[in-house]
């Protein structure tokens, strides 16, 4: 494969992907790969995003004027990155709000960075999944601009955002967003949640599943595994000191009153 077809098929790419192209006809020293990349940066054919990550400049555009798909950047931030948390909700079209902070999950150490007015942050794969050697559980591959990228599916995302409310815009944003998930595999939600081994999270997920209404209502017997694994003594769902909390005895969990009462809802106007 020559360089131009590679650029066409890889609008965002990592150093090792380019190196694999350069070594297709034999071993090439890393310095030669770096020299080639520096040349294409200098001539405006590619644009550096961060260390070992590049974006291709489309024809008839300049490096300064082009806009790079932020989800491709997040998905390529490390060689094992998968889009998760609120960013996954955004890609699914379920997020209530959209904001310029993208989150990816990785087994590697990866510092936060910024590019084109967007921030990128990494979250470590939960230790429980590492121990069980199932890092990619509940992860799907989607195609975006010709590139296959990994994203946590609806079930895992539902659990993950409840686990890390602080990463996802707060309680209102999370509540409204997960309520927008049209399709949700309840068995998969429960199985994944139990894999993480967090009693407080079991209670949060159990409570929110119990609140699903209409055609998506969850039968009580489905929640039994989570009920059995809830906290033995009441725990707070988050550490916010600015919220008023109320105990949900069934789940041994203190939840913010604003969440229980949905007090952010706009009042009905009577004309």
Three-state SS for 113-162 is EEECCEEEEEEECCHHHHHCCCCCCCEEEEEECCEEEEEECHHHHHHHHH
CA distances from 114 to 70, 103, 186, 214, 271 (A): 10, 12, 36, 42, 48
Report the alpha-carbon distance of residue 188 to residue 59 in Å, rounded: 44
Q: How far apart are CA 192 and CA 139, in angstroms?
A: 11
Task: Show pLDDT as tens, one digit a residue, over the chain (271 residues).
Answer: 578 889 999 999 999 999 888 665 555 566 688 999 999 999 999 999 999 999 999 988 999 889 999 999 999 999 999 999 999 999 999 999 998 999 999 999 999 999 999 999 999 999 999 999 999 999 999 999 999 999 999 999 999 999 999 999 999 999 999 999 989 999 999 999 999 999 999 999 999 999 886 656 788 889 999 999 999 999 999 886 678 999 999 999 999 999 999 887 655 544 4
Q: Is 169 left (phi over 0), alpha (psi -120 to 50) or beta?
A: left
């Amino acid at each position: 494969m020559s360089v131009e077809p590679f650029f066409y098929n890889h609008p965002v790419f990592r150093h090792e992907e380019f190196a694999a192209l350069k070594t297709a006809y034999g071993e090439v020293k890393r310095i030669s790969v770096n020299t080639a990349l520096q040349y294409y940066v200098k001539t405006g054919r590619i644009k550096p995003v961060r260390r070992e990550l590049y974006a291709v400049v489309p024809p008839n555009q300049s490096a300064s004027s082009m806009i790079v798909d932020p989800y491709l950047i997040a998905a390529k931030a490390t060689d094992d990155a998968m889009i998760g948390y609120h960013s996954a909700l955004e890609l699914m079209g379920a997020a209530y709000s959209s904001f310029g902070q993208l989150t990816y999950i990785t087994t590697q150490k990866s510092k936060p960075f910024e590019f084109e007015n967007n921030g990128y942050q990494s979250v470590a794969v939960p230790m429980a999944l590492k121990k069980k050697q199932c890092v990619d559980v509940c992860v799907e591959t989607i195609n975006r601009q010709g590139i296959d990228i990994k994203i946590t599916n609806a079930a895992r995302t539902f659990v993950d955002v409840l686990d890390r409310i602080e990463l996802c815009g707060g309680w209102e944003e999370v509540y409204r967003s997960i309520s927008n998930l049209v399709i949700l595999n309840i068995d998969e939600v429960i199985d994944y949640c139990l894999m993480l081994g967090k009693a407080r999270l079991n209670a949060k997920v159990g409570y929110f599943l119990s609140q699903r209404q209409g055609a998506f209502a969850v039968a009580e017997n489905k929640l039994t595994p989570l009920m059995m694994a809830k906290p033995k003594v009441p725990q707070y769902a988050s550490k916010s000191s600015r919220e008023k909390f109320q105990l949900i005895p069934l789940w041994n969990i203190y939840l913010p009153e604003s969440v229980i009462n949905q007090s952010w809802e706009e009042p009905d106007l009577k004309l």
